[in-house]
Structure 1
């Protein structure tokens, strides 16, 4: 069975714009997915990137235009300047890690719910009640937001190290078991073609 490591940040607008398309590609090819939420600012610092607020104004302006274009193209609700961004991505990431370990729900739906809460729902995904609602909506026990803290913190830190070792430098980032890397929601078609043996 094909395996894909999915590296992403729960505060990444581009991970939000991926919607459920990655899960659809993985399902199409019978691929097993390991979800690896990580500290995106930490990743930028380790791989030569910079925080959006610290980028040259030309890069900030282009990012804004591109995000709004992609959201329109994908017909997704999107707020370029959400009320609670940037926020602490750790609580939602810990919950995703705990949910992956516990099983029993829809992990893709959980990730999408968290990202949508941030980028379309004007909610602070660092708040327990928001995370618990997302867990419930995806079929998980909301108590995972409390019980998974220790393991979540350890795995969250390890995910960053794994990402650096795997050549990951942004979010979303998809790495196959053969080491093929695909960066960005706009590379999901390429991932699909790769898994089909056409690319």
Structure 2
């Protein structure tokens, strides 16, 4: 039986960045179907008890940097702890991912997701800037028309739908992987996702 994974992500999340490529490899190895579902954390957090980074207690902010360093080193993934363009609005890139998914399909959506995440956390690029997003499309040989598509009511409706789905499913952070109704929150839970996909 082919399993489906609902992949709730935020394109400006360092934790999504740290787990993305591993998740793609795990899903591919398992032959799983992936639904790429960018969500608006600005709407999810208030309902789920989460706080934007700047409003978290200092000790939580400090420990976040410790953990990011640990995982970056463990996974051998370059990560700027204080990227030039962060905090950054996630909506433009989230909607671009959706547009690519609609136009090119899941594999392309996963590829542009990886590109967007690396742009923030490794390459010091502004993912809220339309020119940057257009360049990312070109670098991955994806249709430039996806940028215009990302600004359509159809894409906005799907983005809103994914965000509402996250809220209804009790998602509270990114990345979250829903496999056959079971929730796995965080890139550090990917071993459990892999096991679930083997069951």
Q: If the length of structure 2 is used for normalisation, what is the TM-score? A: 0.94
1:74-85 to structure 2, matched below 5 A, reads 74-85=75-86
Tell me which stretches of 4 or more aligned residues in structure 1 moved more than 6 Å: none
Offset of residue 159 of structure 1: 1.1
Gapped regions of structure 1 (runs ≥ 5) = none
Offset of residue 173 of structure 1: 0.4
What secondary structure is seen at the aligned counterpart in 2 of 1:155? helix
Measured in 1, the distance between the counterparts of 2:83 and 2:53 equals 14
Aligned residue number for residue 167 of structure 2: 164
Measured in 2, the distance between the counterparts of 1:51 and 1:33 equals 27
Offset of residue 185 of structure 1: 0.7
1:131-170 to structure 2, matched below 5 A, reads 131-150=133-152, 151-170=154-173
Aligned residue number for residue 91 of structure 1: 92
Contact 1:118–1:124 (CA<8 Å) still a contact in 2? yes
Offset of residue 136 of structure 1: 2.5
Q: If the length of structure 1 is used for normalisation, what is the TM-score? A: 0.94
Aligned residue number for residue 39 of structure 1: 40
Contact 2:98–2:109 (CA<8 Å) still a contact in 1? no
Measured in 2, the distance between the counterparts of 1:194 and 1:19 equals 17
Cα displacement string for residues 141-197 of structure 1 (whole angstroms, at most 9, x for unaligned residues)? 122111231222111111111001112110000001x21111111111110011111
Offset of residue 130 of structure 1: 1.2
Measured in 1, the distance between the counterparts of 2:111 and 2:151 equals 21
Contact 2:43–2:163 (CA<8 Å) still a contact in 1? yes
Q: Mean alpha-carbon deviation: is it higher for 126-135 or for 104-113? A: 104-113
What secondary structure is seen at the aligned counterpart in 1 of 2:82? coil
Contact 1:5–1:174 (CA<8 Å) still a contact in 2? yes
